[in-house]
């Protein structure tokens, strides 16, 4: 071990530190990225290291955060455009790493000289693109200030490793964001279910209390006929006050749950969340071509989301290895036909007979409420759901959702 190259050991140690960076409840994406950039600057002894993110059309990229080694300060905010720097853009798109020993004269980076390099004293560049799902989403830019330097093979390898690990950090951030959104949405749905229970209880109490008030009014009437007007009036005043209370109980929880956006938009917004929740087990295939942009079902947005989410998670749990979950929707006369299919293990007849029962589950950690909830929501709007399943051949749920009458 004593004859190992200290420089190589330093690179290996730095890569290990990068690999340990994680985004969780205690470390945000910004904190993790700052840790990665700071480590890159110190390992490569590079004055400036920044993360630049591309716009969706790749027409520009913006510096999200920039670390300066000598001062320890953070900056960012600069923007570069493809139209102004086409040669540099082409180099980023065609190479795993862009290494310019003399950036102000290198053919791939010279066009940056007047606008960016000279004003900042940058003489050498080492830029490594960051990819997500095969698409370039950003760049880790190492900017050397001072006499031009020659980037070594070890430094090029380290720069690409840093870009790959940055990609992992971004993926973790996206996953956590999707999970957070799902938890919030699930929490809202559970809260809505609890509110429904309270509303039902309140209305039941209001009904029984109203019957009691009617009985008291009858007693007050009899007392009035017998000449006890004062007592009768007191009882009548009490029933009037009780009537107000009944009205409040009856109005409790009544709300305009009329959020009916076009189904296609609701489903499209769900796709990233479904992909995040399912991608470890299955590929999500979505086909909404047969659904008009203005088709609106009788389900509210929250109900449609809950139905689709439960069915897709049920499909995910039915796949033993890696498979496919297909979500399709199309217009059909006065309804929207929606289906969720998987190529999982399927179900035998004895299981099919019980899947709609609350609390029935074949999963060790399941609650048995997913499909029961789906059935309850569909029954509210007279929607239908069909099932096609065979052991070893997968399962398809087909829903026929009535159109909204707005």
Fold agreement (6-178, 263-402): no
Residues 321-364: pLDDT tens digits? 889 999 999 999 889 999 999 999 999 988 888 888 766 777 75
Q: What is the pLDDT at residue 198?
A: 62
CATH superfamily of the 6-178 domain: GAF domain (3.30.450.40)
Residues 305-325: pLDDT tens digits? 878 988 998 899 889 888 999
Q: What is the pLDDT at residue 252?
A: 47
CATH of 263-402, one of 3.40.50.300, 3.30.565.10, 3.40.1360.10, 2.40.260.10: 3.30.565.10
Alpha carbons within 13 angstroms on the beta-carbon side of residue 320 total: 6
Per-position pLDDT tens, the chain of length 406:
445 666 666 666 666 666 665 555 444 567 777 878 888 888 888 899 999 999 988 899 999 889 999 999 898 888 999 999 999 999 988 888 899 999 999 999 999 999 899 999 999 999 988 888 778 888 999 999 999 999 988 888 888 888 888 777 777 777 776 776 777 677 666 656 665 676 666 666 776 777 777 777 788 788 888 888 877 776 776 676 566 556 545 544 444 445 788 999 989 988 877 887 788 889 999 999 999 999 999 998 878 887 898 899 889 988 988 899 999 999 998 899 999 999 999 999 888 888 887 667 777 555 566 787 788 889 889 999 999 998 888 999 999 999 987 6
| Tokens representing residue 301 in the block | 């947005």
- According to DSSP H, which parts of 252-394 are helical? 263-278, 301-317, 349-352, 370-380
b/e string for 249-262 if b means 16 or more Cβ within 10 A?
Answer: bbebeeeeeeebeb
Q: Counting beta carbons within 10 angstroms of the beta carbon of residue 248, is it exposed (0 to 12), middle (13 to 18) or buried (19 or more)?
A: exposed
Domain boundaries in the chain?
Answer: 6-178, 182-251, 263-402
- Do residues 365 and 282 touch, judged by C-beta distance below 8 A? no
* CA nearest to 375, candidates 296, 310, 286: 310
Q: What is the pLDDT at residue 324?
A: 94
Q: What is the pLDDT at residue 406?
A: 61
Q: What is the pLDDT at residue 111?
A: 93
Q: What is the pLDDT at residue 257?
A: 47
Q: What is the pLDDT at residue 243?
A: 65
Cα distance between residue 10 and residue 165, in whole Å: 17
């Amino acid at each position: 071990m004593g004859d190992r190259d200290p420089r190589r050991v330093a690179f290996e140690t730095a890569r290990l530190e990068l690999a340990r960076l994680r985004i969780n409840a205690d470390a945000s994406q910004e904190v993790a990225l700052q840790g990665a950039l700071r480590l890159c600057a110190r390992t490569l002894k590079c004055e400036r290291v920044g993360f630049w993110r591309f716009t969706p059309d790749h027409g520009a990229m913006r510096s999200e955060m920039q670390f300066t080694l000598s001062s320890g300060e953070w900056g960012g905010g600069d923007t570069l455009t493809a139209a102004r720097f086409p040669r540099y853009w082409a180099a980023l798109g065609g190479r795993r790493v862009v290494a310019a020993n003399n950036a102000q004269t290198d053919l791939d980076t010279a066009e940056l000289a007047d606008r960016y390099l000279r004003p900042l004293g940058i003489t050498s560049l080492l830029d490594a693109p960051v990819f997500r799902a095969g698409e370039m989403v950003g760049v880790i830019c190492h900017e050397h200030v001072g006499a031009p330097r020659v980037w070594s093979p070890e430094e090029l390898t380290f720069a690409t490793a840093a870009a790959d690990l940055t990609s992992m950090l971004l993926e973790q951030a996206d996953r956590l964001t999707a999970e957070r959104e799902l938890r919030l949405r699930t929490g809202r749905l559970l809260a809505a279910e609890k509110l429904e229970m309270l509303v039902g209880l309140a209305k039941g109490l209001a009904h029984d209390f109203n019957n009691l008030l009617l009985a008291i009014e009858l007693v007050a009437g009899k007392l009035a006929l017998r000449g006890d007007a004062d007592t009768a009036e007191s009882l009548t005043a009490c029933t009037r006050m009780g009537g107000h209370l009944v009205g409040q109980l009856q109005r409790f929880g009544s709300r305009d749950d009329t959020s009916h956006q076009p189904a296609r938009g609701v489903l499209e917004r769900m796709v990233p969340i479904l992909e995040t929740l399912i991608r470890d087990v299955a590929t999500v295939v979505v086909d909404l071509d047969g659904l008009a942009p203005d088709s609106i079902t009788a389900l509210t947005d929250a109900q449609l989301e809950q139905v689709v989410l439960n069915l897709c998670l049920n499909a995910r749990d039915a796949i033993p290895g890696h498979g496919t979950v297909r979500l399709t929707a199309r217009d059909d006369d006065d309804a929207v036909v929606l289906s969720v299919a998987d190529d999982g293990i399927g179900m035998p007849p004895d299981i099919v007979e019980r899947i709609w029962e609350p609390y029935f589950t074949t999963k060790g950690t399941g609650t048995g409420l997913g499909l029961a909830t789906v059935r309850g929501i569909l029954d509210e709007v007279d929607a239908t759901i069909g099932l096609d399943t065979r052991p070893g051949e997968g399962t398809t749920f087909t829903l026929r959702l009535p159109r909204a009458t707005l």
